[in-house]
A = this chain, B = another copy of it.
């Protein structure tokens, strides 16, 4: 995005709305975050019955003000970008639209206003504040490590899911219906509650045999929680090493991209530490 005429109002608007390098851009980002946060607080308070009864009308008006503001913001976003379609179908674009719709839907459908809670999704924009501070390196670092871990974590979660299906099914056989394990999906829900060590206690084993099986489930959960931790710790260490050596170049040939434990340049063979 490098327009020739930098005075172009569209470009300036883009700089303010989409970027945060300029003063106006930072102010816009901070202001937007405050607006999002306030509007969510209003939706939250409005959901509390005794507050709703007292301030319901006020909240309704505030809601429409925010709705207007966010609509204007959405239009400005469409106007100031070169390819509006790309924004509309981007993750943030879809979220912005979802956050707007309930207000308008509530005109036609009674109860649609309760969908306003989806405005909470706009909180994801909170991560833009990191662009404002010095958190960028840390967030990049974490994102890198999580990206590296994603496959291993998926395998782990699939294993846990398979385990909960098997253990939940066995528990359905062991405990009878009258003890809360009324069907297999319910038993699988119990197995997830147990293996993740959440343990609500809404369903808990009653028979000695059930308690025995539950003990095994718990100890399994206790032992395997270590696996994702190990994976992420490991990948953080790798990400750290990568970061470190990213810009280190060979003193002889100047090429980059050496392994973290490399002592000699992998291109010309001369020592990296000379």
Contacts and interface: CB of A to CB of B under 8 A. Distances in A.
Interface of A: 40, 43-44, 47-49, 114-115, 117-118, 120-121, 123-124, 126-127, 130, 135, 138-139, 141-142, 145-146, 151-153, 155-162, 165-166, 169-170, 172-173, 177, 182-186, 188-189, 192-202, 204, 208, 211-212, 214-215, 218-219, 221-223, 225-238, 240, 261-264, 269, 273-274
Contacts of A153: 223
Contacts of A222: 160, 195-197, 225, 228
Contacts of A196: 197, 218-219, 221-222
A117 B232 contact: no
B138 A172 contact: no
Contacts of A123: 162, 165-166
A204 B203 CA distance: 10
Integer count of this chain's copies in the complex: 4
Contacts of A202: 201, 204
B204 A200 contact: yes
A221 B43 CA distance: 25
A86 B145 CA distance: 43
Given A145-B230, A166-B123, A173 B225 contact: no
A142 B155 CA distance: 9
18 contacts: A47-B172, A48-B184, A117-B184, A124-B162, A138-B152, A139-B155, A142-B152, A142-B227, A142-B231, A157-B219, A192-B218, A192-B219, A194-B198, A195-B222, A196-B197, A196-B218, A201-B201, A263-B273
B173 A189 contact: no
A180 to B, nearest CB: 11
B172 A117 contact: yes
A184 B46 CA distance: 9
A118 B174 CA distance: 12
